[in-house]
Amino acid sequence: MIIAIHQPQYMPWIGYFHKMFCSDLFVLLDDVQFKKNEWQHRNRIWNPNGIQWLSVPNCYKFPQKINQVEISNLENWQKKHLHAIENSYKKAIYFSDYIAELQAFYGQTWPTLNLANIDSVKLMARLLGIKTPIEISSEYSFAGTGTTRLVNICKHFGAAGYLAGAGGHDYMDMNLFESAEIKVTFQEFTCPVYPQFYAKTTQDFIPNLSVLDLLLNCGSKSLEILKG
Quick: pLDDT tens for 121-132.
999 999 999 999
Identity of residue 71: I
Number of domains in the chain: 1
Distance CA 67, CA 11 (A): 17
pLDDT digits (tens, 9 = 90+) for 85-94: 999 999 999 9
Q: Name the nearest CA neighbour of 1 among 27, 19, 16, 23.
A: 23
Percent of the chain with pLDDT over 90: 89
Distance CA 130, CA 227 (A): 11
The CA–CA distances, whole Å, from 126 to 30, 92, 111, 121, 171 equal 20, 20, 23, 9, 31
**According to the model, what pLDDT value does residue 170 have?**
76
Q: Name the nearest CA neighbour of 218 among 128, 130, 131, 121.
A: 128
Distance CA 156, CA 150 (A): 10
Q: pLDDT band for position 37 (50/70/90)?
A: confident
Element (H, E) at 106: helix 95-106
Q: The domain containing residue 157 runs over which residues?
A: 2-227
Average the pLDDT over 171-185 and give the result: 94
**According to the model, what pLDDT value does residue 206 have?**
96
Statement: residue 220 has pLDDT above 80: yes
Statement: residue 48 has pLDDT above 90: no
What pTM, to 2 d.p., does this model score? 0.96
Average the pLDDT over 95-109 and give the result: 98
